[in-house]
Each structure stands twice: as structure tokens, then as C-alpha cells.
Amino acid sequence: MSPSIWISGGTKRMLATRKLEDETFDELLSRLAQSERPIAIGAWSANEADYARAVVKR
């Protein structure tokens, strides 16, 4: 039996935007787990952080 995980509808919609057309959700999660790296605290310069805040506010 395969394990199951519960995710909200909102999370599934966000994941679906990252999913490739011929990819299963299992393959998507595996790809993301292998490729995504957390952002190090302080990794952005002040200018980069200001730009990111401006983009988010749009």
C-alpha cells in the first residue's frame, strides 16, 4: 500500500502550476524535493529584497 498525504485545495492548485504536462503529482513532488533549495537568510541584498517586496505588492 502506498502512503497518502493530505494537502489543502490551495496547496494542490499551487503545485499544479509547477507540474509538467505529462508529470504525475508523485513525480512533481520528487522533482521538487530534489531540486528546491531553501533560501539562506540574508541571501538577498537590500535592493533585491526591496524589489521582491514591490513585486509581491502588485
**Residue 7, pLDDT above cutoff 70:** yes
pLDDT given at position 22: 96
pLDDT digits (tens, 9 = 90+) for 17-40: 999 999 999 999 998 888 766 656
- The pLDDT of residue 20 is 95
More confident residue, 14 or 45: 14
Domain boundaries, the chain: 9-57
What confidence category does residue 46 fall into, taking pLDDT thresholds of 50, 70 and 90?
confident
DSSP per-residue codes, 2-53:
-------HHHHHHHHHH--TT--HHHHHHHHHHH--PPPTT-S-HHHHHHHH
3-class SS of residue 57: helix
What does the pLDDT read at residue 1?
72
